[in-house]
Structure 1
Amino acid sequence: MGEKGLTGGLVDFARRQPGMVVLVLVLAGLYLSKAGTGDSDRAVIVANVDLPAPSLVIHNRTTYAVGVDPRAPDAIQLLSSRDRHTWTVHPNALAAPPSWADPSGGLGPAAIGVFDGSFVLYYTATVRGLGLRCVSAATSKHLDEPFEDTSLAPFVCQTAEGGSTDPSPYVDAAGRPYLAWSSPGQAGGSGPALWAQPLRSDGLVLTGDPAVLLRPSLPWQDGRVASPSLLEDDGHYHLVYSAAPELNDRQVVADASCRTPLGPCQPTDRPLLTGSLAGSGPGGAHAFADTSHHWWLGLHTWDSPPTGAYTPVGQFVVVPLQLHDNKLKIDITSTAHGTLRTPTRRDHDDTDSGGTDRTEHRRFDFNRENRDAQDLDRN
């Protein structure tokens, strides 16, 4: 562009064609606005995945979801995704339950904590001889390897509270780890509650004393609270949880503001999500933040209300979670259908290197998962 250079040429063009410059700026603004919001109002619904209480965590730009599918109660399902739309189904995340766990009781809600490069899988199992569901902890050095549980007793087990379930690890802005969970209560006791307690830096030892975050106190909670998870924004703590009975269209997702990660927490007057385009009876919600500090919610919904002869089918859903005026908000105006595939050996290489995902997509067949895992072992 001669002596004027690129900058001078652009200035001359702007002087000669001001209307064109305005149009370009408007179009660019619309594009950037759309790109910036992305899926800010879109729910991703993943059919054929029925995790009543999914828990999600992000590590190395990959989102991992864990939970127990009622169709396979003896296994902990592990899913991974680079975009939260296409999910890879991995083999059972837990090598084997400990000896104190009653195999006839199956496994329950699970969550993964990331601590200084090592990983802890917190999950629910039934205590042999007690019939109570309590939380255990298993460890692994890599997320692509099964977690090992060598415990001789449960990690958290509140016998006076009817047991302990729904584990959810949380690390605050200062790097201090905590574990939140729920207790169902029992007859003659103090009823259901959400709890939290500090953890040692490796996530393997509870320190201090357990603190009550929340107990049901509002009519729409219907006497039940469960599935706690915590988020923090500039010193403000937000508790996301589920309320009302499970397995029907009355369950809701709710939130509360907390003074500290150990409470006390004040519930909002209304539920955060009662059902929408994302499905009926939302519950088992788990809040998490991505690497760009955007907030998300993984949850379980039914594809329809339980009416008539049709039996509703559970589905795994991921929705954006917004914060306005220090209040949580979910505004879903559209949906997208997630896809499932099974992993190949190259997936681990791509995940570690950050390379492009080259695995061929396949239609997911739940009954074929174990055969696929065996094929991977033989390869």
Structure 2
Amino acid sequence: MTPTAPISRRTLVASGAVGAALGAAALTAPAARADAGYTNPVIATNQPDPGVLRVGQRYYLYSTAGAAGNMPVLVSPNLVTWRLLGDGQPEIAAWANRGRHWAPEMIEVDGRYHAYYTAWERATDRQAIGVAIADRPEGPFVDGADAPLLSTPEEGGCIDASPFRDEDGGLWLLWKNDGNAADQDSFLFVQRLADDGLSLVGERSIALERDQDWEIYTIEGPAVIAHEGRYLLFYSAGEYWNETYGVGVAVADAVRGPWTKLSDQPVLAANEVAAGPGHGMPVRTADGIWYVYHAWQPDHVGEDPGRQIWISKVQVGADAVTIDGPAIDNPRRPRIDRRG
């Protein structure tokens, strides 16, 4: 098994030039050359593990802790131009230690916003999953619980929580056991959430495991989207700190599965302009699905400016799913439905 990466893996870059850049109101890369096109990265600062939520006419992006706080929050009207709002969770939960605040993802439940996030559990010294609630999508998110929503120290901990609302209204949670932090294997799990989103019900199921050559080290970062009567599960695998990291896709007829991987190769992989693309989220727009993800500059892996935010169009066929790019220059922006 590949040696375990440092425990601080999701906060590799959080200071220096990145910290200075975060002081600016606008965090986008140079503006697109024309209204029809855009330039990647769309966020030029370190924002690992992005989760995206649409509320009205705005998209909110949340990322792993860094220079902007425990839960950086950015906002955009179009997935291309972004503005920093601040720290969405300035106060951590009573059960958590400071540091290792990772990969928040959001969902609306009964008019409020739930953040499912990873934090360092004091009682176990492992990563655990909590849920924090806010009245507004920008926060502040508050986790008033005495214990995390999910804690599995015997499996190395748990990370990368991803909530999903099915078309029938049912809530689900996907996550990864952090086995690579404890010399164990990692799996992606799925389990039903209670209607209020504050507890897990029933039994969990294994959604995916590492069974392909490119999925070295770990499998993580799950995110589900419904599409034309099926469910697509985007996930990342490989070693996040180098060019082996990439994105795979699985398909199922039900959220619980069984899930079938659509390719034995990543559908989004490193190239000459982006290293280690992954841990993102599929986002529905008026012209289909786009994938919002992080990637390193190939000659600055593990260094400033860190893992920047890119977007790429998803192409869905009858038997295959692909993701365009990564590409710096792109001829068409996402088409946003302003009626939504």
Q: 2:289 aligns with which of 295, 307, 311?
A: 295
Are residues 48 and 189 of structure 1, via their aligned partners in 2, closer, same or farther at CA, if it must alter by over 3 Å?
closer
Residue 74 of structure 2 corresponds to residue 79 of structure 1: yes
CA distance in 1, matches of 2:326, 2:103: 29
After superposition, what is the alpha-carbon deviation per residue over 1:56-91, rounded to whole angstroms, capped at 9, x for unaligned?
12110211110124445x511011100111111011
Paired residues of 1:164 and 1:184 also in contact (CA < 8 A): yes
After superposition, what is the alpha-carbon deviation per residue over 1:98-125, rounded to whole angstroms, capped at 9, x for unaligned?
111012x331111111123211011111
Equivalent in the alignment of 1:120:
114
Deviation at 1:240, TM superposition (A): 0.4
Unaligned runs of 5+ residues in structure 1 are: 1-37, 338-353, 355-379
- Local SS of the residue matching 2:278: strand
Equivalent in the alignment of 2:62:
66
Deviation at 1:323, TM superposition (A): 0.9
Equivalent in the alignment of 1:99:
94
Which residues of 2 match residues 265-280 of structure 1 at below 5 A? 265-267=259-261, 268-276=263-271, 279-280=274-275
Equivalent in the alignment of 2:135:
141
Paired residues of 1:277 and 1:334 also in contact (CA < 8 A): no
Q: Greater CA radius of gyration, 1 or 2?
A: 1
Residue 298 of structure 2 corresponds to residue 304 of structure 1: yes
Q: 1:156 aligns with which of 150, 159, 163?
A: 150
Amino acid at match of 2:254: T
CA distance in 2, matches of 1:186, 1:319: 29
Unaligned runs of 5+ residues in structure 2 are: 1-35, 331-337
- Please, what is the CA RMSD of the aligned residues? 2.5
CA distance in 2, matches of 1:226, 1:91: 26
Paired residues of 2:117 and 2:161 also in contact (CA < 8 A): yes
Q: 1:331 aligns with which of 315, 318, 324?
A: 324
Residue 84 of structure 2 corresponds to residue 89 of structure 1: yes
Amino acid at match of 1:200: A
Q: How much identity, in percent, do the aligned residues show? A: 25
Equivalent in the alignment of 1:8:
none
Paired residues of 1:253 and 1:272 also in contact (CA < 8 A): yes
TM-score by length of 1: 0.71
Deviation at 1:44, TM superposition (A): 3.6
CA distance in 2, matches of 1:44, 1:110: 23
Amino acid at match of 1:160: E
- Local SS of the residue matching 2:87: coil
Residue 76 of structure 2 corresponds to residue 49 of structure 1: no
TM-score by length of 2: 0.79
Deviation at 1:49, TM superposition (A): 2.4
CA distance in 2, matches of 1:264, 1:143: 33
Paired residues of 1:45 and 1:336 also in contact (CA < 8 A): no
- Structure ranking higher in helix proportion: 1
Deviation at 1:51, TM superposition (A): 2.1
Residue 168 of structure 2 corresponds to residue 174 of structure 1: yes
Equivalent in the alignment of 1:192:
186
Paired residues of 2:192 and 2:201 also in contact (CA < 8 A): yes
Paired residues of 1:118 and 1:140 also in contact (CA < 8 A): yes
How many residue pairs end up in the alignment?
295
Are residues 186 and 248 of structure 1, via their aligned partners in 2, closer, same or farther at CA, if it must alter by over 3 Å?
closer
- Local SS of the residue matching 2:202: coil
